[in-house]
Structure 1
């Protein structure tokens, strides 16, 4: 649809100038020669309008042909063009009917718009357009306002919007309207038939001009701005840049047309990028799912800038390896066992896991807490990938379930743990009590001490046991500590403690304390 826009010709500019001059002369009450001049302007306007109508009809015909050839591509713009034709014809025909009504009011029922007899009649336009109750002027003004608002919704160019908005303006302000008349009063009050008909002919000319501008805009949308290409290339566009064995690989394979004579301008993040060979490269700094988005701009055959947005999703994963120790596949019953789970090539937020024989609670990306329900019964953790939107099983891992081992008792001394040997009396007096924990380099699990026994020896060598019902030293024990002399010793034994699994146990070992 290679249709060029028509710009205002010198001849049309001359017609417009003649129209302005004749209106000014009319205001000065010039004779019948001026009225005959209006007829000349009206004829010229009608010829220009007829030519514009022919060009518009040619575009409509091309629309119909394109609609038959490619309805999917053209349907949207064809519907808009049909809408433009309907509302343009409606306002055009309304203006034509008013011209006929004014001429017949002046010349009688046999009046002919193309051969007006009483061109100087000053009452006909007033009667048709401004008569109280039946005047058509207000209806015409409302129709022009509605047409202007609707037609402007289809025009993006700011310059064309200003021109069309001015052509259909119905508000007369400033010094030219000192009595604040309405548009219809300002336009038709006291106007001879020749001037009123010419005014309506100008409105018809403006309608066809606006109609043509919109049609050219719609045509450019169908032609996708008519960018010329000279090379076809094949491209593969994957749905995901990272795929795990067993997952589905999805990619679009397309033929793309390019212009090797000019390179598009590429914008990413709102900034224009200078990309060698149109290749965008960067160092990925963090893992996860990301989207590269931006837009391209390029000049079409008419020198207009065409913009096209783009978007590409990609995934960044951490380098990873799986290390398995055969003797360490153990979980402890009733305990919150920390578990780390990952799948090479899959983001942590796309990995899920479940466990039999207990609960598996996620605490963060790749981090879980496993709590087996019972001792001696193995549990199985199943790991799945959600990379493609549905679960894909990646593997199953079985763990033996054991009871937590017994803790070791100690006396807390700040950040140190005293487990036996020499201890200053002052330090012992300030210790407050004992604690118990598993602290073997792999686990660091605190237990709650519920009771223990301190065994002292009197001067006869007799054992004197003193029981505490909690983890703190009793008042009797502390008083005995105060009386101990250097190198005296006592033993802490029969310690009872409860672990996070809820099981109460008596610790077999005793702690020997020697006063220094």
Structure 2
């Protein structure tokens, strides 16, 4: 909704006009000392900028020389330096164009930013930077922000980033009275002051450029060996070697330039190693030492030598394969197996098995499932510790059928602990509380459950005859439970003809009955 303006009296119009005239007079009354001070600051900024530009030029020239000498090493950082130069020059030149435009706006076509005559001109900066439709203040602000974002990506030091961002900020302080950046910087600004602000921006650009260039230089070895400590190292693939296998080791100098090829001497004899890789066939067992020295030169041509020494051990092929629960393997059953090789990490060991499958379940842990009874299963252990497969041994196990389980009544003792009752005296109350029977191999080493398919109970009749009653699968039938209730104390009966099937899928009739005496 439009705001309705109040009518202004002729007297109020006159007061307003006088106020405007007074403000203009105050603005024009800038002391010559202050305006001349901007010239002094301008000269100081010019010297600072020129010094930074000279330092930057020296670094660019150093980059050019290094690029010609070693493009493989320098190319990445050289290209980044060229990008920094391009973006820095672009913003620097934009500021120079704006300085010239302000000087010409103040002094005419012959205006010179270095020698502004009408220093106090308050309209020159307004026209160049803020004039509607043609003011270039927003163009400058966006150029500063693009440059700042690009240049900050070149450095990772937080303090350095904060310093560069502060010098190239386009934020308006809280005292900006709601103005945008270009208004805050250039509105009603004397021509001399506006030019000085742009000179400061040019100085900030060259300093930011310098900081980034120094950072890029640190990423290459401009002086060939820019370290304060050098050490030779032997890096073996393994310090424990199997007889007949190869001992492999990389011989390097710490912080060495990978694009330079140092000289390597073993036992005072120079050797030619591809990528510093040393190999020798180990034909004897025992402890050995690889020693010698590595030699390179610095930028001045001085020789730098570092000695190296590395011990290693050669052992006979060996491995350990143990069945976790037994001394043989059972057909059709998941036999837990542990496999290890002295001096070899578990993740560098693999194994295969004949007569069945061998499945890894974790580091050094396997499940062996032999298939044929009576035929040995052979496990072959392989080590890849030195980069290629090496057989560490073969181990044969006899394969047999799982033994028959023992039938039992599953119940609980007085404390509520699970109990497998396999025969003997049993209280009538406990007998009436059980539901059925089970079967398992439970010999203190193995504990393998079987599923009961059927069973029978044998009772003695009144005439001494045997009465057979079939169970209901693995559970007591209603007829069997009714007979339990009628049994007198000290009467005996048997659980027999138990048919069970194991994890190997084989069905068997158990020969061992359960004798129960009612108490």
Using the size of structure 2 for normalisation, the TM-score is 0.64
Task: Report the CA distance shift for 1:467/1:346 in structure 2 as closer, same or farther (over 3 A).
Answer: farther
CA contact (8 A) 1:436 1:449 kept: no
Any gaps of 5 or more consecutive residues in structure 2?
1-25, 257-317, 413-418
* C-alpha separation in 2, matches of 1:42 and 1:485: 121
After TM superposition, give the deviation of residue 388 of structure 1 in Å.
5.9
Task: Report the CA distance shift for 1:27/1:348 in structure 2 as closer, same or farther (over 3 A).
Answer: same
Q: Which SS does the other structure have where 1:341 is aligned?
A: strand
Task: Report the CA distance shift for 1:257/1:221 in structure 2 as closer, same or farther (over 3 A).
Answer: closer
After TM superposition, give the deviation of residue 60 of structure 1 in Å.
1.7
CA contact (8 A) 1:457 1:490 kept: no
Q: Quick check: 1:466 aligned with 2:468?
A: yes
Moved more, 232-241 or 439-448: 439-448
CA contact (8 A) 1:450 1:498 kept: no
RMSD: 4.5
* C-alpha separation in 1, matches of 2:436 and 2:202: 104
Q: Which SS does the other structure have where 1:345 is aligned?
A: coil
After TM superposition, give the deviation of residue 132 of structure 1 in Å.
2.2
2:138 aligned residue: 138
Q: Quick check: 1:454 aligned with 2:458?
A: yes
1:13 aligned residue: none
After TM superposition, give the deviation of residue 336 of structure 1 in Å.
3.6
Q: Which SS does the other structure have where 2:340 is aligned?
A: coil
Q: Which SS does the other structure have where 2:343 is aligned?
A: coil
Corresponding residue pairs, total? 420
1:503 aligned residue: 506
1:276 aligned residue: none
After TM superposition, give the deviation of residue 367 of structure 1 in Å.
4.0
* C-alpha separation in 2, matches of 1:409 and 1:479: 21
5 Å-filtered alignment, 1:103-114, equals 103-114=103-114
2:205 aligned residue: 207
Q: Which SS does the other structure have where 2:252 is aligned?
A: strand
* C-alpha separation in 1, matches of 2:208 and 2:466: 113
1:380 aligned residue: 378
* C-alpha separation in 2, matches of 1:385 and 1:159: 51
CA contact (8 A) 2:459 2:492 kept: no
* C-alpha separation in 2, matches of 1:466 and 1:57: 110
After TM superposition, give the deviation of residue 204 of structure 1 in Å.
2.5
5 Å-filtered alignment, 1:159-238, equals 161=161, 164-175=164-175, 177-178=176-177, 180-222=178-220, 229=228, 232-238=230-236
Task: Report the CA distance shift for 1:203/1:468 in structure 2 as closer, same or farther (over 3 A).
Answer: closer
Any gaps of 5 or more consecutive residues in structure 1?
1-25, 259-319
Task: Report the CA distance shift for 1:33/1:251 in structure 2 as closer, same or farther (over 3 A).
Answer: same
5 Å-filtered alignment, 1:37-116, equals 38-116=38-116
After TM superposition, give the deviation of residue 93 of structure 1 in Å.
1.6
Moved more, 58-67 or 201-210: 201-210
Moved more, 407-416 or 86-95: 407-416
CA contact (8 A) 1:244 1:345 kept: no
* C-alpha separation in 2, matches of 1:38 and 1:485: 123
After TM superposition, give the deviation of residue 103 of structure 1 in Å.
3.3
* C-alpha separation in 2, matches of 1:256 and 1:40: 52
Task: Report the CA distance shift for 1:124/1:355 in structure 2 as closer, same or farther (over 3 A).
Answer: same
* C-alpha separation in 2, matches of 1:358 and 1:195: 91
Task: Report the CA distance shift for 1:361/1:149 in structure 2 as closer, same or farther (over 3 A).
Answer: closer
After TM superposition, give the deviation of residue 439 of structure 1 in Å.
5.1
* C-alpha separation in 1, matches of 2:369 and 2:458: 36
1:127 aligned residue: 127
CA contact (8 A) 1:435 1:449 kept: no
* C-alpha separation in 1, matches of 2:511 and 2:118: 130
1:333 aligned residue: 331
* C-alpha separation in 1, matches of 2:96 and 2:108: 17
CA contact (8 A) 2:248 2:386 kept: no
1:148 aligned residue: 148
* C-alpha separation in 1, matches of 2:421 and 2:52: 100
Task: Report the CA distance shift for 1:108/1:490 in structure 2 as closer, same or farther (over 3 A).
Answer: closer
Using the size of structure 1 for normalisation, the TM-score is 0.64
* C-alpha separation in 1, matches of 2:153 and 2:486: 97
Task: Report the CA distance shift for 1:104/1:387 in structure 2 as closer, same or farther (over 3 A).
Answer: same
Task: Report the CA distance shift for 1:339/1:450 in structure 2 as closer, same or farther (over 3 A).
Answer: farther
* C-alpha separation in 1, matches of 2:480 and 2:170: 106
